[in-house]
Amino acid sequence: MDVDPEIILPCLDEADALPVVLAALPAGWPVLVVDNGSTDGTAEIARALGARVVSEPRRGYGAAVHAGLEAARSELVAVLDGDGS
């Protein structure tokens, strides 16, 4: 299978963690950050670091993951916690 994977990061107020998490991801893999109502600049930091960002106003990890799957551009995705855990 020759498909470029996409990494989905559901995030709620992860501005402090995102720089470290994004730097640790495999080079060249597209990253989709799903902002789940952050108030700390998570979306802006993610964009500045090269991630594509979508918003999901419905609160909850499941809602954020679902929004990421719907917005993904690849058939192959990985879902990782936005705080690096």
Structure tokens at 56: 């999901």
CA dihedral 48, 53, 59, 65 (to 10 degrees): -120
Q: Is the pLDDT of residue 31 over 60?
A: yes
Q: Within 13 Å, how many C-alpha atoms sit on residue 63's CB side?
A: 10
pLDDT at 1: 52
What confidence tens digit (pLDDT) does each residue in 32-85 have? Answer: 999 999 999 999 999 999 999 999 999 999 999 999 999 999 999 999 999 988
CB 28 within 8 A of CB 5: no
End-to-end C-alpha distance for the chain, whole angstroms:
29
CA nearest to 45, candidates 77, 18, 79, 6: 18
Using DSSP's 3-state secondary structure scheme, residue 43 falls into helix
